[in-house]
Amino acid sequence: MKHIGIKISLFLIYFVFAALLNSVGILVERSQEVYGVLKSDAALLEPFKDLSIAFVSFLIGSFLPRLGYKKGMLISLAFVFIGCLGMYLGNSFWAVKILFAITGMTFAIVKVAVYALIGYITESKNDHSQLMSYIETTFMVGIIFMYLVFPLFYEHPDPNNWLKGYLLMAGLIAISFLIILFSKFDIKVERKDTSIQEDFKSMFQLFSKPVIWIFATFAFFYVMTEQGIMTWLPTFNKETLHITPQLATQVAVILMASFAVGRFITGILVKKIKWFYIAITGLILAAVLVVIVLPMANNVPNQEVNSIGDLPLVSFLFPMIGLFLAPLYPLLSSTVLSNTDKSQHSALAGILTFFSAIGGTLGSVIIGNLFDLLGGDRVFYLSLIPMCAILVAIIFLNRKVQQNEA
């Protein structure tokens, strides 16, 4: 298979970073349970992660081709390895903040590298969309791994035993580092003989294109929706549905699994059905699910649930929203990237990552601060607002792409 070493590296590093990056939902719950912090303080974990991503992605987008994609990925793995050991030894809310700051900064490098490399190892727009969907599927599998494996460390006489999950992550990171180190990156990346200042100028010039603003709007509101639900679902399960902490985290894996399945199916469908129809259908079904399923949370009995057999139906149905939201991010990202010159993919990926991170921060903070005020059974209705903005962005993006193709 062509470029097999690069593809294995992309799948592997995305798996590892998905597990770390999206453990924020777990650590929001753990920080309240173990360190006794308030919901509003726990909600700050998302900005520590996402603002780090936003800051670095904007700086690295035009610079990474100079540094080298492989070198950037290896440096990122080395830093998160140190972060995991720091979390295990630090055992405090500050250690959690530092871990997410490190993870955010290094993920910015990784995401820009992965998104840029996809353009160099695919030969058509459909191939680009398919590989993008499969890599994003791997991202969700990494989150599933974290949500299933991490709670296994909870039940132990030692209250700090859950921190051993970070020793496991450090081991996986070390293995990933070695595999990528010895993988052959057999591509030629176009490097222009320009200064760093000129690279930044060309990156900002991308904003002169209306399609970039539409794309940025989509990324902002999509990740706001996704992260708001993903980060606070374990807390919703625990407090609104009265599920025990360990089971609440494990049940949240249904959301990640539905995202993974949705993106895998998207990778198959995109070769047969136009991206626009897949995206619009998914978004409408997601909104319908919110309206139909969330009222069921009002009727959950006020008694603790500690076994799978006693779980309320809403704990299974609401996370299925991931199945419908799943196609949107890889499809629209691929559509814009594959309609842009390869030499601009790194800068464009930096812009995408920046707006995604800002949206993710706002989504999590808004839900976190309004969770107690509105109640867990009503707070997720707020997701309908960014969904309307996403619908408008999809329609306008489709028009722009059709105009460019014409």
In terms of residue numbers, what domain contains 71?
4-180+203-405
Domain count, the chain: 1
Asked if the structure places residue 188 within a domain, the reply is: no
CATH number at residue 38: 1.20.1250.20
pLDDT score at 351: 82
Please report, to the nearest 10 degrees, the dihedral formed by the alpha carbons of residues 211, 215, 216, 217 taken in order. 100
Asked if the structure places residue 191 within a domain, the reply is: no
- Inter-residue contact 19 to 143 (CB < 8 Å): yes
Q: Please list, in sequence order, all residues whose beta carbon lies within 8 angstroms of the beta carbon of residue 335, skipping any fewer than 6 positions away.
A: 125, 129, 275, 397, 401
pLDDT score at 287: 95
Digitized pLDDT (tens) for each residue of the chain, 406 residues in all: 577 778 888 888 889 998 888 777 778 778 887 888 887 787 777 777 878 888 888 777 777 777 888 899 999 999 999 999 999 998 888 888 899 889 989 998 998 888 888 888 887 788 888 888 888 889 888 888 887 888 788 766 777 888 888 899 999 899 989 988 888 876 766 655 555 666 667 667 777 778 888 888 898 899 888 888 887 888 888 888 888 877 887 788 888 889 989 988 988 898 889 999 999 999 999 999 999 988 888 877 777 777 788 888 888 999 999 999 999 988 888 888 887 777 777 778 788 888 888 887 788 778 878 887 887 778 889 889 999 999 999 999 998 888 776 6
Asked if the structure places residue 187 within a domain, the reply is: no
Asked if the structure places residue 186 within a domain, the reply is: no
- The candidate with the shortest Cα–Cα distance to 262, out of 251, 278, 276, 284, is 278
Tokens 């993903």 sit at which residue?
Answer: 230
pLDDT score at 267: 86
Asked if the structure places residue 189 within a domain, the reply is: no
Asked if the structure places residue 26 within a domain, the reply is: yes
- The candidate with the shortest Cα–Cα distance to 128, out of 401, 406, 335, is 335
Q: State how far the alpha carbon of 25 is from the alpha carbons of 45, 230, 236, 363, in Å.
A: 9, 7, 11, 13
Asked if the structure places residue 345 within a domain, the reply is: yes
Task: Report pLDDT digits (tens) over 392-404.
Answer: 999 999 988 887 7
**One-letter amino acid of 315:** S
Q: How many Å apart are CA 259 and CA 224, to the nearest integer?
A: 16
pLDDT score at 194: 58
Q: How many Å apart are CA 10 and CA 299, to the nearest integer?
A: 44
Q: How many Å apart are CA 339 and CA 280, to the nearest integer?
A: 20
What's the per-residue H, E or C state across the chain?
Answer: CCCHHHHHHHHHHHHHHHHHHCCHHHHHHHHHHHCCCCHHHHCCHHHHHHHHHHHHHHHHCCCHHHHCHHHHHHHHHHHHHHHHHHHHHHCCHHHHHHHHHHHHHHHHHHHHHHHHHHHHHCCCHHHHHHHHHHHHHHHHHHHHHHHHHHHHHCCCCCCCHHHHHHHHHHHHHHHHHHHHHCCCCCCCCCCCCCCHHHHHHHHHHHHHCHHHHHHHHHHHHHHHHHHHHHHHHHHHHHHHCCECHHHHHHHCHHHHHHHHHHHHHHHHHCCCCCHHHHHHHHHHHHHHHHHHHHHHHHHCCCCCECCHHHCCCHHHHHHHHHHHHCCHHHHHHHHHHHCCCHHHHHHHHHHHHHHHHHHHHHHHHHHHHHHHHHCHHHHHHHHHHHHHHHHHHHHHHHHHHHHHHC
Token reading at 58: 């904007």
Asked if the structure places residue 190 within a domain, the reply is: no
Tokens 């949107």 sit at which residue?
Answer: 328
Residues written for the chain: 406
Task: Report pLDDT digits (tens) over 15-67.
Answer: 999 888 877 777 877 888 788 888 778 777 777 787 888 888 877 777 777 78
pLDDT score at 380: 87
